[in-house]
């Protein structure tokens, strides 16, 4: 289900951002700029990064997680997936009943499992989310007002969630210019994004690792053009973030790898046999599929 445009009635008195980088920083920047958030609290691991976030106008104050839990009306957790349990454990003893938690993690099944284990009955306050937007750049300086414009944001609401809480998170993302979609099953989300996001990154990283492993490959890297640039761009992403994504979505990733191995074996046999016609048909089918694909505008 796709939900429509921005709702100007949105107001978040105190917004908390844990991890004020590309995603968290852009979210806070937009809501501050549109005056939908009156005050923004920031927390994270790097004090210098947080001070930079203040200088850039992304947040108003640096606080500890415990203070954020006591003061914020909405808290966005924009940390690596593996840090979620630690973050929630620190928030939980101080969390107000009315505070809404949400995340921006690229996987959802594991995230929800961790949230249930840590939050217990307060799981009702956690609305799982995933903005489909990113960049090879990171940190507060990467934050942009247009990062989510016309991009998809996937929410996988839980049965325990208050519909009004889900609606508020929907409104916040719509205020960022995003198209919001709801998925009933977290497993469905993870299968989809293993295919269209996580596995492509895995392949790009494999290719870069392979090219960097020999002197001939390293020499070839100096001669790459636009095709090489476009194919490998995503391999420059955060190693910590992508490690956590691959581990969190390991089952779906392994399924993708098994299917890809079969396709690689098939096309290797065509090349080995010198089957020009079948190679042509394979390339033609792939080209048509790519030309028919349209990114959401």
pLDDT of residue 3 exceeding 50: no
Hey, which residues does 42 pair with through a beta bridge? 17, 62
| Close Cβ partners of 269 (under 8 Å, ≥ 6 residues apart) | none
Q: Using CA atoms, how far apart are residues 62 and 205, in angstroms rounded to an integer?
A: 35
Hey, which residues does 40 pair with through a beta bridge? 15
The per-type count for the chain, helices as H runs and strands as E runs, is 13, 10
Question: Concatenated DSSP letters for 113-132?
Answer: HHHHHHHGGGGGGEE-EEE-
- From 41, 38, 34, select the one nearest 8 (Cα to Cα): 34
pLDDT top residue among 60 and 9: 60
- From 188, 186, 194, select the one nearest 126 (Cα to Cα): 186
List phi, psi (to 5°) of 58.
-80, -35
pLDDT at 254: 94
Place 33 in a pLDDT band, splitting at 50, 70 and 90: very high
pLDDT tens string 227-278: 999 889 889 888 888 898 898 889 899 999 999 999 999 999 999 999 999 9
Place 80 in a pLDDT band, splitting at 50, 70 and 90: confident
pLDDT at 2: 36
pLDDT of residue 204 exceeding 80: yes
**In the structure encoding, which two tokens stand for residue 118, read together?**
């840590």
pLDDT tens string 174-189: 999 999 999 988 888 8
Average pLDDT over residues 115-138: 91
Question: Concatenated DSSP letters for 143-163?
Answer: --TTTTTT-EEEE---TTS-H
Give exposure, 51-83, as e/b (b: 16+ Cβ within 10 Å).
ebbbeeebbbebbebeebbbbbbbbbbbbbbbb
Place 201 in a pLDDT band, splitting at 50, 70 and 90: very high
Other beta carbons within 10 Å of 224: 12
Q: Using CA atoms, how far apart are residues 169 and 148, in angstroms rounded to an integer?
A: 14
| Close Cβ partners of 288 (under 8 Å, ≥ 6 residues apart) | none
pLDDT of residue 219 exceeding 90: yes
pLDDT tens string 42-76: 999 999 999 999 999 999 999 999 999 999 999 99
Pairing verdict, β 126-127 and 100-103: parallel
Q: Are 184 and 155 in contact (CB under 8 A)?
A: no
Average pLDDT over residues 209-213: 94
- From 117, 127, 76, 75, select the one nearest 96 (Cα to Cα): 75
Q: Are 94 and 66 in contact (CB under 8 A)?
A: yes
pLDDT of residue 166 exceeding 70: yes
């Amino acid at each position: 289900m796709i939900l429509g445009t921005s709702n100007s009635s949105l107001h978040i008195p105190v917004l908390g951002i844990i991890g004020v980088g590309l995603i968290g920083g852009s979210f806070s920047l937009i809501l501050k700029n549109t005056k939908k958030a009156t005050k923004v609290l920031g927390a994270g691991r790097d004090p210098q990064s947080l001070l930079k976030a203040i200088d850039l106008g992304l947040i108003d104050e640096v606080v500890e997680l415990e203070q954020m839990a006591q003061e914020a009306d909405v808290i966005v957790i924009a940390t690596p997936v593996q840090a979620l349990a630690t973050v929630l454990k620190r928030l939980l003893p101080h969390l107000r009943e009315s505070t809404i938690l949400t995340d921006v993690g690229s996987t959802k099944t594991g995230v929800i499992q961790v949230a249930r284990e840590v939050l217990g009955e307060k799981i009702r306050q956690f609305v799982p989310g995933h903005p489909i937007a990113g960049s090879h750049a990171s940190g507060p300086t990467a934050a942009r007002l247009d990062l989510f414009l016309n991009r998809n944001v996937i929410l996988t609401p839980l049965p325990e969630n208050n519909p009004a809480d889900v609606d508020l998170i929907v409104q916040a993302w719509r205020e960022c210019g995003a198209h919001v979609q709801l998925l009933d099953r977290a497993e469905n989300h993870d299968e989809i994004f293993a295919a269209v996001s996580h596995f492509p990154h895995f392949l790009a990283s494999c290719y870069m690792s392979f090219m960097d492993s020999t002197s001939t490959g390293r020499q070839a890297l100096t001669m790459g053009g636009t095709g090489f640039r476009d194919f490998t761009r995503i391999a420059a992403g955060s190693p910590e973030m992508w490690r956590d994504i691959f581990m969190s979505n390991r089952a779906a990733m392994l399924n993708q790898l098994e299917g890809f191995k079969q396709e690689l074996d098939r096309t290797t046999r065509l090349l080995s046999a010198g089957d020009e016609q079948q190679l042509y048909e394979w390339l033609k089918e792939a080209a048509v599929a790519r030309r028919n694909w349209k990114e959401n505008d």
